[in-house]
Amino acid sequence: MIMRSGNPALKESTFLDLGSGAVVRGDSQSMTLNGAVNKTAILLLLAVLTAAFAWSQIEFTPQGPVNAMPYMLGGAIGGLILAMITIFKKEWSPVTAPMYAIVEGFFLGAISAMYNHVYEGIVLQAVTLTFGTLFALLFAYRSGLIKATENFKLGVVAATGGIFLVYLATMVLGFFGIKIPMIHESGMIGIGFSLFVVVIAALNLVLDFDFIESGVESGAPKYMEWYGAFGLMVTLVWLYLEFLRLLGKLRD
């Protein structure tokens, strides 16, 4: 069974026993779809609470924002560390996934406050678009309007990998003072690039839905509900940030 996803947290080997190649099954309880949905709601709630706290702690002066960087850097680095731990120790996900949501909330709250200070009302727009996209694609997936065929998966994974390489090149070149022209600017090419990234991030949700459903059908152990929720959370965070970038370029 092939279970391909552009999300690094939800990949082909996640539900496989590396020793035998057989699907891992729970001893007493197995993963359920409702369980994964409930865990996702818990992670989102935790992220919203810590994001609201971080936002409330940031002040803006004529010299710039105050207290923003500790939340941004701490949230980004802490979130990355917890994400890597969760990916490599999936059985720890009932603990590490909520921790990831809490830490990532600090990062999201800080960056959201900064965006909203420059573009008033942009955060509400980005949140609305993110959840609107989530529910629209979930409806399309459950109704069969969108099917995660192998060609569909291959295309989304390839596009996701390409975007990752562009962002990686941007970071590396940035250390040497070199900027990739146009795609990160607010011109037509930059807006078009951001729109493309938003579409690919949204399509990753379809692969995540399919991946979680495959885990349920395979009888994965109960803790995989937390892991599936964590993987979906990773995609939602990416999608939200890309909506912020796109809306910011459109405002400019």
Chain centre to alpha carbon of residue 225? 16
Radius of gyration of the chain (CA): 19
Six token digits for residue 82: 């917890």
Cβ(193)–Cβ(163) under 8 Å?
Answer: no
Q: pLDDT of 140-192, one tens digit each? A: 999 989 988 999 999 999 999 999 999 999 989 888 888 888 888 889 999 99
- Mean pLDDT rounded to a whole number for the chain: 88
**Does the structure show a pLDDT above 50 at 229?**
yes
Instruction: Report, as an integer, the average pLDDT of 40-58.
Output: 96
pLDDT at 6: 53
What is the crossing angle of helices 122-142 and 188-217, to 10°? 40
Q: Does the structure show a pLDDT above 90 at 50?
A: yes
- Long-range interactions of 78-87: CB distance < 8 A, separation 24+: 78/103, 78/106, 79/103, 79/104, 79/107, 83/9, 83/230, 83/234, 86/9, 86/227, 86/230, 87/8, 87/9
What are the backbone dihedrals phi and psi of residue 64, each rounded to the nearest 5 degrees, phi first? 130, -175
Q: Which of 51-65, 74-88, 172-186 has the lowest mean pLDDT?
A: 172-186
